[in-house]
Amino acid sequence: YDSAVAEATFSTLKVEYVHRHQFRTRTEARLKIATWITDFYNPRRRHSVCGGRSPIDYERSAIRVLEDQAA
């Protein structure tokens, strides 16, 4: 199960972004893929495993729960 999340993430990356674009260089590909991950995938794309929330929203709520438990 450890690699299931990573495999799903890379599959989504390839299907939703990489296969839909052509890159002139590896550097261009790296920059555009990193931008896609930070600007779209993490803050806006909804994930079923996160209860329909984006990864950023899910992490924020999980941190709040942990902070509330520690208080």
pLDDT tens by residue, 20-67: 999 999 999 999 999 988 887 777 787 787 788 888 888 889 999 999
Count of CB atoms situated within 10 Å of the CB of 38? 11
Output the pTM of the full model: 0.59
pLDDT category of residue 1 using cuts at 50, 70 and 90? low
Query: Which residues are CB-contacts of 42 (< 8 A; sequence separation ≥ 6)?
Result: 54, 55, 56
Considering only CA atoms, give the Rg of the chain. 15
Residues forming a β-bridge with 47: 53
Q: What distance in Å separates the CA atoms of residue 71 and residue 57, rounded to the nearest whole number? A: 21
Whether the pLDDT of residue 4 is over 70: the answer is: yes
